[in-house]
Amino acid sequence: MATLEKIRNRAGLLVLVVGVALFAFIIGDFLNSGSTYFRQSQERIAEINGEVIHYQDYQQRIDEMTEMYKMQMGTTSVPEESMVQLRQMVFNNMVEEIVLGEATAEIGMTVSPDELFDMVQGENISPLIQQMPMFTNPQTGQFDKAALLNYLKAIDDENIASLPADQQSQFIQARNFWLFWEKNIKNQRLEQKYTSLLSKAISANKLDAQESFNETAESSDIVYAMQSYSTIPDSTIAVSKSEIEKLYNQRKESFKQKEAKVLTYVTLDIRPSQEDYDNVEKDIDAIKTEFSTTENVADLVNENSDVPYVDAFLTDKSFDAEMKQFATTAAIGDVYGPVFESDRYRMFKLVAKTQAPDSVKVSHIMLAGRTEAETETLTDSLMTALKGGADFAELAKKYSADQAAENGGELGWFTELTALRGVNEDFKDAVFSAALNEIKVVKSMYGTHLVKVTEKTKNVTKYKVADIEMAVSPSSKTYSKLYNDLNQFIANNQDIDKLDAAAKEAGYNVSTNQTVTADNQMLGMIKNSRPVIRWAFQNDKGAISEIFECDDKFVIAAVEGSISEGYRPLSMVSDALKREIIAQKKGDQIASELSAKNLTTVEAYAEAMGAHVDTVKFVNFGTRRISGIGVEPKLNAAVAMAQVDQVSAPVKGNNGVYVFKVYARNQENKEFNEAEQVRTLDASNTYRFAYQAIQSLINDADIEDNRIRFY
């Protein structure tokens, strides 16, 4: 009882303790879940009309696109420049999918499963599929639906599961390739349906047709004279602040801009020192004697050269000018060089010369996917059958494990170089030593080949040349000195206002007032400089960066300032607007002075202008760029409306004031066909809609792009 009484007396304290414990439990849970929320927020690549693109989804799509690039280009790596383009392409695709998905969902437009099936294996195969080389009949050059269906059968899950484990990855890769394109085909079809719907709502009428026909049906030949605006000094033209402000307000919509940073940046080329050149010259000189005398030239080249030894006979068409000159005039064993060009030293040796076919046409039966014993047994059986008169092409169709089987095993033409690089040295030796229709057995990384040479080109002179190349690149000593000197420069110059002058005094290249946005991939023309732009968007005015290594340059950057998203301020565009107003006023002045002279010939105007008379033919209203003049739409319009043999009034153009006379009219030898002209205009409008309709959706979308945080 005493214990209960104590509890009652301290009930308030107990409630407080329990409450604090519950609060700690709840807030702890909230913070834990909140950390996930904040992490997800930080991993947002972008937000399009409220729909979030997460980093993982974006990166997965990039990985897909990268694999497609590797497969199509036949490479195992992707250059950074190409990766930049792939990332942008993926982002553009994801934005387009979102905005198009919203627009089509709003009107109930979809691509049904039956519609997709019809496009990928039905009666209306997508052009994307029909253009793929793997589905083209090599004999007709046309799309082969049977090849497509065989491909789909091969990448079916059940078929892949039945294959040996060492073959499955290749077919899984092929399936992923197909799924990638199937998704693109579906998206493309949805876009086509949407843009087609819009384009059908607008059709050219007979007035449009007549106007379009007239623009090109008649053209004019003219004589003209032009007085350039540069003949009047800018300093003589007064432009007020109010005039600039007025033009700015008229053009304000064209000055929309994204958030930007204004930078000063300093660059230093990472170049070899004279000591580096001297050292490479000593290295190549040191092996010249051995190069001249060695019997094992391949090993010497591979140990010392930046390019491997090519153990193949080549025609002189395969050589650059210097190697061709040497090979065609040297005796076997002669050595040429060392010579220096384009930051590399080279030395040649003529190893051998022969008369032989430049190319051979090869067919093969490739055996793969079997055990070594099974392959050997089948090889013996096929060789026996072929010696007995069996048809090589039929056996290839039945047994060969590659796509050439469909064409009787025909691989096409090989030079020694393509045979060496495409397969291996054994394959090259076999096909270039074989007699016509002789069958040889060769092994490669792809499997076992029964090869047959079916045609040969005529014999030509071919050369085997050893080529030692040593590029001169900055040594670690040179690299360190360049880096340390620049690093010391940064340490001594932390005032952005003095950075320009200090950099020039130190002999560095410097650029000022350079504007970059978050989606710029390069700083100016500097390759691999995206990290500099990322740094700029993480720092404020006055910050000076560390040293960035961008391809073959060191770069340091300083933030001069930031520009908010919206409209470029008048101060940033006033110089350009002022130049435009000056040009307008010069035009008014020149035109007024010329008109006051009341001249009657183009020659007289040319004399007054201090210019010469020139001619140009076939000018019409639709001419985009007038030959010898450039883009002058006002002149186009004036010529189209002018009377023949009548000297025009002065015409104020983009670059100067023109006076002209039409001396001939040219009529197209064709009749106006309203229906045909309408069809042409509608087709043109449909083409424009394909881009403009989607781009309009993107322009109107609320896009928050955070890629600068990640890439």
Question: Does residue 99 lie in a domain region?
Answer: no
**Average pLDDT, whole number, for the chain?**
88
Both ends of the chain: CA-CA distance in Å? 71
- DSSP for 628-681 reads TTB--HHHHHHHHHPPBT-BPPPEE-SSEEEEEEEEEEEE-S----HHHHHHHH
Q: What is the pLDDT of residue 651?
A: 97
Indicate if 336 and 384 belong to the same structural domain: no
Rounded CA-CA distance 586/341 in Å is 52
- Domain of 29? 2-42
Tokens representing 553 are: 């340059």
Q: What is the pLDDT of residue 139?
A: 66
Indicate if 553 and 588 belong to the same structural domain: no
**pLDDT beyond 70 at 24:** no
Indicate if 433 and 516 belong to the same structural domain: no
The CATH number of residue 406's host domain is 3.10.50.40
DSSP state of 389: T
Rounded CA-CA distance 689/196 in Å is 8
**pLDDT beyond 60 at 316:** yes
Say which residue, 581 or 210, is predicted with more confidence. Answer: 581
Question: Does residue 531 lie in a domain region?
Answer: yes
Domain end among 316, 335, 356: 356
The CB-based long-range contact list for 170-179 (8 Å cut-off, 24+ gap) reads: 173/67, 173/71, 176/64, 176/67, 177/67, 177/68, 177/71, 178/151, 178/152
Report the Cα 273 to chain-centroid distance in Å. 34
> Which of 9-23, 454-468, 471-485, 518-532 has the least mean pLDDT?
9-23
Q: How confident is the model at residue 81 (pLDDT cuts 50, 70, 90)?
A: confident
356-368 residue pLDDT tens: 999 999 999 988 8
194-241 residue pLDDT tens: 988 888 887 888 888 888 887 778 899 999 999 999 999 999 999 999
Tokens representing 90 are: 């993926």
Tokens representing 78 are: 């992707």
Beta-strand pair 703-705/44-48: antiparallel
Q: How confident is the model at residue 335 (pLDDT cuts 50, 70, 90)?
A: very high
Among candidate residues 53, 66, 132, the one with its CA nearest the CA of residue 96: 53
Question: Does residue 238 lie in a domain region?
Answer: yes
Q: Taking residues 110-137, what's their average pLDDT?
A: 89
Domain end among 331, 356, 381: 356
Question: Does residue 98 lie in a domain region?
Answer: no
Task: Name 201's Cβ contacts closer than 8 Å, sequence gap at least 6.
Answer: none
Rounded CA-CA distance 691/192 in Å is 10
**pLDDT beyond 50 at 476:** yes
Q: What is the pLDDT of residue 29?
A: 46
541-554 residue pLDDT tens: 999 999 999 999 99
Q: How confident is the model at residue 465 (pLDDT cuts 50, 70, 90)?
A: very high
**pLDDT beyond 90 at 325:** yes
Beta bridge partners of 566: 257
Indicate if 576 and 661 belong to the same structural domain: yes
Does the N-terminal peptide bond of residue 338 adopt cis geometry, omega within 30 degrees of 0? yes
The rounded percent of the chain whose pLDDT value lies above 90 is: 59
Indicate if 351 and 392 belong to the same structural domain: no
Question: Does residue 407 lie in a domain region?
Answer: yes
Indicate if 339 and 301 belong to the same structural domain: yes
Among candidate residues 163, 167, 128, 122, the one with its CA nearest the CA of residue 145: 122
Among candidate residues 242, 232, 246, the one with its CA nearest the CA of residue 586: 232
pTM, rounded to two decimals = 0.67
30-79 residue pLDDT tens: 444 444 444 555 689 999 999 999 999 999 999 999 988 887 787 888 98
**pLDDT beyond 60 at 521:** yes
Indicate if 592 and 654 belong to the same structural domain: yes
Confirm if 262 and 562 have CB atoms less than 8 A apart.
yes
Q: What is the pLDDT of residue 19?
A: 44
Q: How confident is the model at residue 423 (pLDDT cuts 50, 70, 90)?
A: confident
* Angle CA 328–418–319, to nearest 5: 25
Question: Does residue 628 lie in a domain region?
Answer: yes
Indicate if 598 and 651 belong to the same structural domain: yes
Beta bridge partners of 553: 269, 550
Q: What is the pLDDT of residue 547?
A: 97
Give the total number of structural domains in the chain: 5
Indicate if 560 and 580 belong to the same structural domain: no
Question: Does residue 378 lie in a domain region?
Answer: yes
**pLDDT beyond 50 at 693:** yes
Indicate if 378 and 435 belong to the same structural domain: yes
Question: Does residue 553 lie in a domain region?
Answer: yes
Confirm if 220 and 640 have CB atoms less than 8 A apart.
yes
Indicate if 350 and 428 belong to the same structural domain: no
Rounded CA-CA distance 254/242 in Å is 19
Q: What is the pLDDT of residue 12?
A: 45
Q: What is the pLDDT of residue 196?
A: 86
**pLDDT beyond 60 at 640:** yes
Indicate if 632 and 582 belong to the same structural domain: yes
Rounded CA-CA distance 101/108 in Å is 10
